[in-house]
Amino acid sequence: MNKIFVTRQLPNKKLINKLEEFFIVDVWEEEDPPSKSKLQERSKGCWGLLTMLTEKIDLDLISSNPSLKIIANMAVGYDNIDINAANKFSIQVTNTPDVLTRSTAELTIALIFVIAKRLQEGNAAIRNSEWGPWHPNWMIGKDLNNAKIGIIGPGKIGQEVAKIAKNLNMNVMYYGKSPKNGFPGEFVNLNKLLKNADFISVHLSLNEETKNFINMRHFTIMKKDAVLINTSRGKIINQIDLENAIKRKIIGGAALDVTDPEPLPATSELLKMQNVFISPHLGSATKKTRTDMAELAIKNLIEFNAGRIPPNAIDEEGV
């Protein structure tokens, strides 16, 4: 039997039992991810890895492990894996798309509600004994009804966000490399989206083209009360520019489920801003979604072990 290393505990023991029907299984039992040296050590001699986005699978690890044949990433994104190195050494990489689409889209909408209705600020006011008699001008938020939402990246998650937004009677526009058939919104250029949207939601994959994709140039085009939402990857936003844009009141605020780095240091300026809401990368954080992700990663491993093309094989060249 081939050996695999599972880099974090999975949602339940039954998933490990399933793996053990086909493989010799080594599981990292600690809460924190393995260090680089531990990851290297435990990967030695493994035929496969079941990894999370927290594990950096780089050229050094790949080139020093000739027995490695597959990396099954339990995530949609795979920016933690050096795809060029994997291709060079003929290692199959897989991911877990689709199963977390709805969960991430729901969280995106939740972030919009939290920031639009100023729920974080309101809760802080209660806890700080600042909640006084009702006043017509206190904690004034933003309506979602008839508001304009701009979606950058019309992939499956972006499309699901658009569907929910439409049901909330929001006006949807989107930007991508080209129009997408069936997308519930108006295809526009990026400048038009930035100029007109009340809420701008980012749904891009992270690669060399999209690092710091949103920066000060874009913030200066946005409405002064516009809110940026990011549930994709932290490095897609130039975080220093974002901090400056909010401090200088160039934009109205941000709601972020992803940051750079994760977790944010306690000294981060973003944590001090009332009009910024940050959640700790919870896009897929439901029991069903995480279980579905693990099951799909396991299926990829089992299918490849049987000599078949795994259902979620990534065959693209690195950029």
Residues annotated as catalytic are: 233, 262, 281
DSSP codes of every residue in 253-294: EEEES--SSSSPPTT-GGGG-TTEEE--S-TT-SHHHHHHHH
Residues 191 and 221: beta-carbon distance below 8 Å? yes
Residue 53 is given by DSSP the state T
Residues 162 and 185: beta-carbon distance below 8 Å? yes
Question: Could you tell me if residue 153 is left (phi over 0), alpha (psi between -120 and 50 degrees) or otherwise beta?
Answer: left
Phi/psi at 72 (5° precision): -100, 105
Cα–Cα distance for residue pair 239/228, rounded to 1 Å: 12
Cα–Cα distance for residue pair 246/216, rounded to 1 Å: 11
**178 CB-near residues (< 8 Å, 6+ apart):** none
